[in-house]
Amino acid sequence: MFTQFKSPTWHVPMSWLTGETKPGSLLWREHLANRERMGHEFKANKVVDSPFSSWSRLQGVLLVTFTFGSWVVSGSICALLLVFGSTATRVGIASYFLMGYLFGPQPFVPGVYDWVGSLEVAKTNGWRLIVVGDDERDAGAGAGDADKDTADTRDTKKETKSSSSSSNPIDCQKKPHLFCSHPHGLFSAGLSLNLVHSASALKRFKAVKIRLLVHWLLVNAFPVIKDWLRALGQMPCDRSTCSNLLKRGESCAIVPGGVREVVWSGRVDVEHLYLSDVFGFVRLAIQCGSPLVPVYTFGESLSMGPDWVPFFGLRRKVSYYLNAPIRFLSITQRWCLPFPNGRLVTVVGRAIDPGPVESKPSRERVKALHATYVEALLAMIEENKEEAGYPTQVTKIV
């Protein structure tokens, strides 16, 4: 039973709970196969699959562990301390929030943002970024570790860059773009680490920064983590905030499926994207004149393990009603840490022009652009799923 509980799989089979061995659990089996493939790539690059393989990698793993771990537990711990803590503890928590109210939220710290991006957490841990229409490809697991490229590899990369031109000219300096990521998973780790907090990815899109917009609780209410995320430039995901950022020339990244899509993560058979009646991001793109960029991460929805909790249909209805996901949550994944498990491959598609700016676009125009976007997203997934290691994946819009 515990033979898989080691690098690169870090998984204890629980087929009697998850149904992961059933004939229809194709998505989960491909996810496990990609974990094995990632392990082989580490060996081929002569890199040990361990946070201690380099100092920069260790820093990145510790930061992600702190961020995602705090993401999950900070709110609960704060609530418990307020209920069961001592008077001094309650006064301390109240003072903390009072200071935040009086002096405002933690401002964005560009130096911290740049430092996190320079760690290239995704690359050093075996993840990949694919840009549709761009011949440049990440070199594989461990490629971000210092001094791992040979002279031949560096020469090949230079030839590739000089002999090919990208047919996906996303230039965030000329116009702010709205990057729309799917699926949500639990942490949207692929979007965050393969794109928003990757210096090499930002360079490919000529972006100084990309603002990641998240649930308002994470940046306004949950203690400690809200200040850390604000320092990284993350903002609450609401129409006003996103519109203001785009209009002042800052590219943004959002997850249109929101928390309702979280409840679909962990399914072992088919990938589900909550998008059928989500039109706000399309309307916003028209109002701001910002191109829509479809982003999809293979492996995201299963990066924190299968969801084995029963009564999915009931949980889904309650989650939709409360706008809060009810699902299994495991924070002991890769290396037994709250670090997403597996080989996450993020694909960035071609930008979709929303057309002329219109403050109050008609319902028909919004629906037409939404249909165009969904069609482009599904086509991008189908065209890249084999290269990403998910050749039989079935994707459904819900």
Nearest CA among 265, 314, 343 for reference residue 40: 343
**Cβ atoms 281, 256 nearer than 8 A:** yes
pLDDT digits (tens, 9 = 90+) for 150-199: 334 444 344 444 334 457 789 999 999 999 999 999 999 999 999 999 99
pLDDT of 21 = 84
Distance CA 267, CA 246 (A): 34
pLDDT digits (tens, 9 = 90+) for 137-149: 665 566 555 444 4
pLDDT of 17 = 78
**14 burial class (0-12, 13-18, 19+ CB within 10 angstroms)?**
middle
> pTM of the entire structure?
0.91
68 — pLDDT class (breaks 50, 70, 90): very high
H helical segments located in the chain: 15-18, 26-44, 55-84, 87-103, 110-118, 121-124, 151-163, 189, 199-204, 216-220, 225-231, 239-247, 258-262, 280-288, 312-322, 363-388
Distance of CA 208 to the CA centre of its chain: 19
Nearest CA among 319, 383, 392, 308 for reference residue 350: 383
Distance CA 8, CA 241 (A): 40
**Cβ atoms 214, 233 nearer than 8 A:** no
pLDDT digits (tens, 9 = 90+) for 204-233: 999 999 999 999 999 999 999 999 999 999
Contacts of 213 (CB under 8 A, 6+ apart): 234, 235, 236, 237, 238, 241, 242, 252, 253, 254
Residue type at 307 in one-letter notation: D
**Cβ atoms 130, 137 nearer than 8 A:** yes
pLDDT of 310 = 87
**Cβ atoms 49, 8 nearer than 8 A:** yes
How many residues can be counted in the chain? 398
Distance CA 356, CA 366 (A): 12
In a 3-state reduction of DSSP, which class is residue 352? strand
- The residue written with tokens 């761009």 in the block is 134
Calculate mean pLDDT across residues 246-257.
Answer: 97
DSSP state of 291: P
pLDDT of 1 = 56
Share of the chain above pLDDT 70, in %: 91
**Cβ atoms 369, 285 nearer than 8 A:** yes
279 — pLDDT class (breaks 50, 70, 90): very high
The two three-digit tokens of residue 170, written as one number? 């996303």
Q: Do β-strands 292-298 and 345-348 pair in parallel, antiparallel, or remain unpaired?
A: antiparallel
Q: Buried b vs exposed e over 78-101: b needs ≥16 C-beta within 10 Å?
A: beeeeeeeeeeeeeebeeeeeebe
Least confident among 4-13, 112-121, 237-246: 4-13
Distance CA 368, CA 314 (A): 32
| Residue 240 vs residues 80, 84, 142, 176, 284: alpha-carbon distances, Å | 33, 37, 40, 16, 10
Calculate mean pLDDT across residues 343-357.
Answer: 97
pLDDT of 54 = 96
